[in-house]
Structure 1
Amino acid sequence: MSIRPPATKADPEQRTPVVRHTAQQHKQARRARSRKNWTTFLLFAGPNIALILLFIYYPLIANVRYSLLNWRLGSDTATFIGLENYTQFFTSATGLEVWRVTIIFTVATVVGSMVLGLLLAVVLNRKLPGRTVVRTAVFSPYVLSGVGIGLVWSFIFDPNLGVLSHVFAYFGQNSPEWFLDPDLALLMVIIVYIWKNLGYCAVIFLAGLQSIPNDLLEAAAIDRAGAVRTFFKVTLPLVSPTMLFILITSILSSMQAFDVLRIMTPSGNGTNTILFEVYLQSFGAYQRAGYSAAISVVLFVVLFLVTFIQIRFVEKKVHYA
């Protein structure tokens, strides 16, 4: 009589339920972790998402709806007119003037702030006595109130009592009528806005310059590259990521400039940028809320496209070390 040895391994038929049971447990554990992660995410991010939906996306959608109406601020009735507000903004002489002023103001302030800011950052990057105090003084205008800046510079440009009037008088000239001439008014606010944003560009450029490895600069010096050639061949390519960041933020800031323009030129008079025109059309003498909403929608689309184009195409020319 033969004795069958005891089985050391379980039959495949007996192991299958155990494997299936283990896989089921893993699936349930993954679901539990997923629910826990989503619960944690909603607890922390839920209030922020709700606030963004309530105060950003809902007003945006409502603004698009208002832009299709002929509606005056405070009126109980509104008439649906479709795209007439958009057509008027893109074809009327007033709308074309707004585009002209916006382009001139944006290009002048962005280019002026970036060029002067880069030159100032190069100077402040040197080991000069008192450079910390100078950096603080240069950056201060950027954090000051735009209302305060507008009031101070309005007094400076005053043709009768301002500081500039005394400067012109010293040279035997009369002070220009900055506030009455539309072209001079635009030049005035451009100067003030460049002065306001100069410190921001200088500080960001300074951070980019200080991140350049000294080995590259020493290698350029060994190759007998002059200061100008080193600046254009080594320094500029290495600060191009910083330059792209400043370009995007400066364009967005300039196209949304309002406080300085409102204080120095309350009625516009040659300084009607898109955002300022939104205010004048809605809360000024016109009170055309529907037309103002259409302009604000156009501004949103323009800002989105400008940012997308810069990130999509300009970033390709940026050198990341």
Structure 2
Amino acid sequence: MAEVTKGTRVQQPVIVKRKMLSTKSNLHGWLFASPWIIGLLVFFAFPLIASIYFSFTSYSILQPGEFVGSKNYQDLFKDDLFWTSIYNTIYFTIIFVPLGIIFGVSLAMLLNMKIKGMGIYRTIFFLPTLVPHVALAVLWMWLLNPGFGLVNGLLDVVGLQGPNWLGSEAWSKPSLILMSLWGIGQSVIIYLAGLNDIPEEFYEAAEVDGANWWQKTRHVTLPLLTPVIFFNLVMGAIGAFQQFTLPYTMTQGQGTPANSLTFYVMHLYDNAFKFFRMGYASAMAWILFIIIMSLTALIFMTSNRWVHYQGK
């Protein structure tokens, strides 16, 4: 009994010491994580919760505002510019996202070829993504200028009449899609990483079976690249619904011509910081959140039918 008691007395200080060290380690962990936690609470969680409350008020930044219930949400559906901005945003998303995937995968497959100087070509295609969007918009405004722009100048050389790219309601959104496709280098890098992750054994087995280039692309490359395509599809759709900088810079915030370049986030920004209708803008922000979450959920629901993982 004396030996058992003695052993228990020896173990107790060890257990207490371990608990103190564990508490100290946890304290240090929370201390080092505290800047991020404080930033999350102050700059994300609090504004998020506040925007829910403001969406039910007449808050205008300059005045506290009053509780108005669902009036902001009801007024949204009566706002013609609200529906126009939704149409423009959906139009851009439906065309740009699939084109971005097609061009991104095609460029990645070209840049994945084993030829001399491929690193230089990859750098060239990635460089446009490093250009700030405002500078990119100014550059394309010069290129697409109907009077002295380079694009219409080249069309004149071959005897074609170039359109009024940014000044025409019919050509303004296609022009914006063209500008946006200029910056797909970032997604191309992700596709390249996905292509390099495909085992060479699959291609060798396909060659043994007599598969040609198209058959290997269709039955090996694209199915095994679907997880990367899925990721870029989700991120591309979210980014397309938040389109702001390019159209805002090109139109100086006016969305002309005929509001054909008034996108949802532009309309939200105008209500919040031009007209100081912060409650109305908060309601718009939550409508946008619901749209993006619904679209993302739909993509995830359909992913089981077309996304193939190597481990399954």
Check whether TM > 0.5.
yes
Among candidates 249, 259, 271, match of residue 263 of structure 1: 249
Note the C-alpha offset of 1:76.
2.6
Which segment drifts farther, 104-113 or 163-172?
163-172
Superposed, 1:157-168 pairs within 5 Å as 157-168=144-155
Contact 1:88–1:95 (CA<8 Å) still a contact in 2? no
Note the C-alpha offset of 1:164.
2.2
Tell me the alpha carbon deviations over residues 251-301 of structure 1, each in whole angstroms, 9 at most, x when there is no partner.
2222222211111122112122222221122234x3422211211222233
User: What letter is aligned with 2:271?
Assistant: Q
User: What letter is aligned with 1:290?
Assistant: G
- Counterpart of 2:67 in structure 1 is 80
- Counterpart of 1:253 in structure 2 is 239
Note the C-alpha offset of 1:23.
7.4
Which segment drifts farther, 304-313 or 150-159?
304-313
| Pair 1:131 & 2:118 matched | yes
| Pair 1:278 & 2:252 matched | no
Among candidates 46, 52, 58, match of residue 34 of structure 2: 46
- Counterpart of 2:303 in structure 1 is 314
User: What letter is aligned with 1:260?
Assistant: L
Among candidates 272, 276, 280, match of residue 291 of structure 1: 280
CA distance in 2, matches of 1:132, 1:208: 17
| Pair 1:303 & 2:292 matched | yes
CA distance in 1, matches of 2:81, 2:15: 64
Superposed, 1:142-221 pairs within 5 Å as 142-196=129-183, 198-221=184-207
Q: Measured at CA, do residues 38 and 306 of structure 1 come closer, stay the same or move farther in structure 2, by a change above 3 Å?
A: farther
CA distance in 1, matches of 2:80, 2:34: 46
Tell me the alpha carbon deviations over residues 88-120 of structure 1, each in whole angstroms, 9 at most, x when there is no partner.
324533222222111111222211111101011
User: What letter is aligned with 2:45?
Assistant: Y
Contact 2:108–2:192 (CA<8 Å) still a contact in 1? yes
CA distance in 2, matches of 1:208, 1:194: 20
Note the C-alpha offset of 1:181.
2.7
What TM-score results when the alignment is normalised by the length of structure 1? 0.85
Tell me the matched-pair count: 306
Superposed, 1:31-70 pairs within 5 Å as 31-70=19-58
Among candidates 79, 88, 95, match of residue 101 of structure 1: 88
Among candidates 141, 161, 169, match of residue 128 of structure 2: 141
Larger radius of gyration: 1
Note the C-alpha offset of 1:205.
0.8
| Pair 1:239 & 2:239 matched | no
CA distance in 2, matches of 1:209, 1:100: 35
CA distance in 1, matches of 2:194, 2:273: 42
Contact 1:241–1:320 (CA<8 Å) still a contact in 2? no
Note the C-alpha offset of 1:33.
4.1
Extract unaligned runs of 5+ from structure 2. none
Q: Measured at CA, do residues 77 and 206 of structure 1 come closer, stay the same or move farther in structure 2, by a change above 3 Å?
A: closer
Extract unaligned runs of 5+ from structure 1. 1-9
After superposition, the CA RMSD in angstroms is 2.5
Identity %: 27
Contact 1:101–1:271 (CA<8 Å) still a contact in 2? yes
Contact 2:248–2:266 (CA<8 Å) still a contact in 1? yes
What TM-score results when the alignment is normalised by the length of structure 2? 0.88
Which segment drifts farther, 54-63 or 305-314?
305-314
- Counterpart of 1:3 in structure 2 is none
CA distance in 1, matches of 2:219, 2:277: 53
Tell me the alpha carbon deviations over residues 8-52 of structure 1, each in whole angstroms, 9 at most, x when there is no partner.
xx4xxx677567657755764553244123202112111111011
